[in-house]
Amino acid sequence: MRMLEARRGGDTGHLLDLAASRRPLPRTARAARRTDRVARHLHGGAALLGLAVLADSGLEHYRARFFNRAMYLPLAASSLTLAASLHGLLDKRPLPHAARDAVYGLAAATGMAGNGFHLWNIGKRPGGFSWLNLFYGAPVGAPMALVLAGAVGIAAERVRENAAARRPRMLGQPAGRMLAGLTAAGLLGTSAEAALFHFRGAYHDPFMVAPVAVPPVAAALLARAALAPDRRRPRRLARWWLRLTALLGFAGVGFHAFGIQRNMGGWRNWSQNILSGPPLPAPPSFTGLALAGLAALRMLEEEGRDG
């Protein structure tokens, strides 16, 4: 009799386990999966930023004939950043990686050092920090794109590290807020650099206003989403504006290609015009930052659900 009851009890327990296995996954498991997708999107944004820096610094430093051997450093750092980001994008394990972390840290440090070199290059010219030197000297804000690539990559690793937590955190703060603030600052800085060089071009094309007007609005909406007291409030406007900013990055490549075509000889004289025309690889930085901003919005919404 006892053996029969034990067998019945075992069958009942098996049926209960089977029924439980058919129920929806626990809330924390679904949240961990969403957080892992956010990390992948951040890796994608870091990859785009790294690719933009690699192509842009390669062209600009080639034009300068690599007269300073340190000019090879951003090429190496951006190449490693691109490789690490692609590895993170394809890595299915929801865990951070020490090598990727090291590469992203190296990229951020290289970008900071490059910004110092560019400031020194401008300051040593006759007239110092004048409009002329800001226009035609080393681009003052260009190395910060490498800093942003490293920072977005580090954020992706920290999100992976805390993927199982209900509220992933960075530097002791909710990850969504930190990512939103970082992306908003990056959008403002990149837009300021575009404003400087488009001012040099006298805004001869009305579309040159777009990278000066659209990204700052996206940054403001993203900051508003991070600071909103009601965390459950839909952030549709910020999302759509970030998507517009991402599209702007791709459209900017087309406009810059058209600007190169307008130079004497057009694309038939590409070896000269691609160096003297508008920088072809620069606009995708907006796309990379917009992807990071969209990931930040997803994190904010996840924090709102958990709150």
Measured in whole angstroms, how far is the alpha carbon of residue 95 from the centre of its chain? 20
**Predicted pLDDT at 14:** 45
Per-range mean pLDDT, top range of 99-108, 218-227, 277-286 = 99-108
Strand partners, 170: 173
More confidently predicted of 307 and 251: 251
Instruction: Say yes or no to pLDDT of 237 above 80.
Output: yes
Tokens representing 25?
């996954």
Distances (CA, A) of 82 to 69, 77, 145, 208, 224: 22, 9, 13, 28, 31
CA dihedral 289, 290, 294, 297 (to 10 degrees): 70
Least confident of 105-114, 126-135, 149-158, 232-241: 232-241
Give the model's pLDDT for residue 184. 94
Q: Write out the E strands in 96-212.
A: 169-170, 173-174
> Could you tell me if 216 and 290 are in contact, meaning their C-beta atoms sit under 8 angstroms apart?
no
Res. 305: pLDDT tops 70: no
| Range among 21-25, 32-36, 81-85 rated most confident | 81-85
Which pLDDT score is estimated for 167?
66
- Which pLDDT score, from 0 to 100, does residue 189 have? 93
81 and 123 Cβ atoms separated by less than 8 Å: no
- Per-residue confidence band for 304, with pLDDT thresholds at 50, 70 and 90: low
Strands (E), 199-262: none
Instruction: Name the residue with higher pLDDT: 101 or 160.
Output: 101
* Position 8 confidence tier, pLDDT thresholds 50, 70, 90: very low
- Is the model's pLDDT at 264 over the cut of 50? yes
Where do the structural domains in the chain lie, given as residue ranges?
29-306
> What are the Cα distances from residue 209, in Å, to 63, 81, 191, 201, 263?
27, 31, 10, 11, 21
pLDDT at 230: 57
Round to whole Å and give the CA distance between 215 and 59: 25
pLDDT over 90 at 110, yes or no: yes
At residue 29, the pLDDT reads 59
Task: Choose the weakest-confidence range: 10-19, 25-34, 130-139.
Answer: 10-19
Which residue do the tokens 């050092």 mark?
A: 113
pLDDT-derived band at 141 (thresholds 50, 70, 90) equals confident
pTM recorded for the entire structure: 0.84
pLDDT digits 0-9 by tens, 169-226: 777 777 788 889 999 999 999 999 999 999 998 899 899 999 999 999 999 999 988 8
What's the helix, strand, coil split of the chain in %, to 5? 80, 0, 20
Query: Quick check: 152 and 46 in contact, CB under 8 A?
Result: yes
Exposure letters 176-185 (e unless 16+ CB within 10 A, then b): bbbbbbbbbb
User: Residue 118's closest CA among 135, 136, 140, 146?
Assistant: 140
H-run or E-run covering 281: none
Provide, rounded to the nearest whole percent, the portion of the chain with pLDDT above 90. 54
- Answer whether residue 26 shows pLDDT above 60: no
The better pLDDT of the pair 271, 8 is held by 271
pLDDT of residue 71: 94
CB 139 within 8 Å of CB 60: yes
Per-residue burial over 34-56, b = 16 or more CB atoms within 10 Å of its CB, e = otherwise: bbbebbbbbbbbbbbbbbbbbbb
pLDDT band at 32 (very low <50, low <70, confident <90, very high): low
The pLDDT value given to residue 116: 94
CA distance 282 to 190: 9
Query: Of 168, 155, 200, 118, whose CA–CA distance to 293 is shortest?
Result: 155
